[in-house]
Amino acid sequence: MKKSQTRQGLRPSFEIETRSERGELVSRARDILRRGDCPLEGEALDDHMRVTLPALERKAWTPVLDVRLEQEASGLRLRCQYGPAPGAWTAFMAIYIGAVFMAFTGLMFGSSQMTVGQQPWAFWFVPLAVVIVLLLHLAARRGQAATQDQMDKLRSCLTHLVEEAESPAPSEQGENQNPA
């Protein structure tokens, strides 16, 4: 298994390369996630996995790790991306889109006011929207810093899950051992 560096940004990401086949890894990951001793909760689909911390450890800002599985000639590449819970991400995007709409409306209305010779007070919505977008980015950075330990735990647990899924199944281990 080969790991790559984390790329920072609004949604930090990293990649893992493994020699496993996609179907085999997904099947083993499903089994591991269903077991009671796994420190993660989540789901594994054909080409996607989503994992998060158990409900007792989760808060509104707890990150979710989305994993895209891509089969390549050399093996399987897991493209992993952190993000907030879906409800928090929806709220973030709604505010972001609202701020962009506010800026656009301020520009259009302000231009109209100038055209008809009125005082263009609507232009003040543009810097307000910029401040809102900057505050959103600062909040995202603050949230990433506050949840760094949870992101580290998700990454290490996913790495362990992949390593465990790569190892031979218990039934395969018994078949490969020859009694002496």
Average pLDDT, the chain: 85
- Model pLDDT, residue 95: 96
Per residue in 25-55, pLDDT (tens digit) is: 888 888 888 876 778 888 888 889 998 988 8
Place of tokens 């078949």: 175
CA 107 to chain centre: 34
Q: CA torsion, points 142, 146, 151, 156, in degrees to nearest 10? A: 140
The end-to-end CA distance of the chain, in Å, is: 32
* Superfamily (CATH H level) for 2-85+148-168: START domain (3.30.530.20)
Output the six-digit token pair for 124.
Answer: 């003040």
Helix (H) or strand (E) holding 67: strand 64-72
pLDDT band at 1 (very low <50, low <70, confident <90, very high): low
What's the whole-model pTM score? 0.73
